[in-house]
Chain A
Amino acid sequence: GESVGLHLPTLSVQEGDNSIINCAYSNSASDYFIWYKQESGKGPQFIIDIRSNMDKRQGQRVTVLLNKTVKHLSLQIAATQPGDSAVYFCAENKGSSYKLIFGSGTRLLVRP
């Protein structure tokens, strides 16, 4: 069935290093993808999105890469900071569908 999954449930990185969080999706018809960050005790917060007609999009310290050939999405965080510690979710959306399908999340831990 359709699924949005993550390769690693927990990622631990050294402060200052770059982080890469991966996400696999199985619905080849999905054409819009979003990354959310959820800090402890808070609701998810939008980070960055990308449409399927792009393969890369950059924000402030974050980059999302989309590889449609292998149905893979990644979030890269440059110079990871303690404030980046959170759970990160990818989500996919198909065409005019109302529904975002969320992955189960990856916890990012930043070591001082």
Chain B
Amino acid sequence: QKEVEQDPGPLSVPEGAIVSLNCTYSNSAFQYFMWYRQYSRKGPELLMYTYSSGNKEDGRFTAQVDKSSKYISLFIRDSQPSDSATYLCAGTKTSYDKVIFGPGTSLSVIP
């Protein structure tokens, strides 16, 4: 079993839709959780970061972590064509440990 799992998609939505991206993880020691966005042929860039359980909002993006169910979510409101990318969730035990990534979900937002 991989430590972080997510549906690879592809996911295609119309512009303006609310997008829900989900991950599960198996390592109960994970304390830090991240979402990265990766455009084609580019390096991943940090989108959202959360510590332990809870919600975090940043503009159109909301990240949720439920440690009891080992579930990580990213919500994108009012999705834009520029949001079309691969979204990678990740977890780590401490701020100095290795970061383990899920396989990524490919998202296309259609104008």
Q: Do the two chains belong together in a single complex?
A: no
Which residues of A approach B to under 8 Å, CB–CB? Answer: none
Which residues of B approach A to under 8 Å, CB–CB? Answer: none
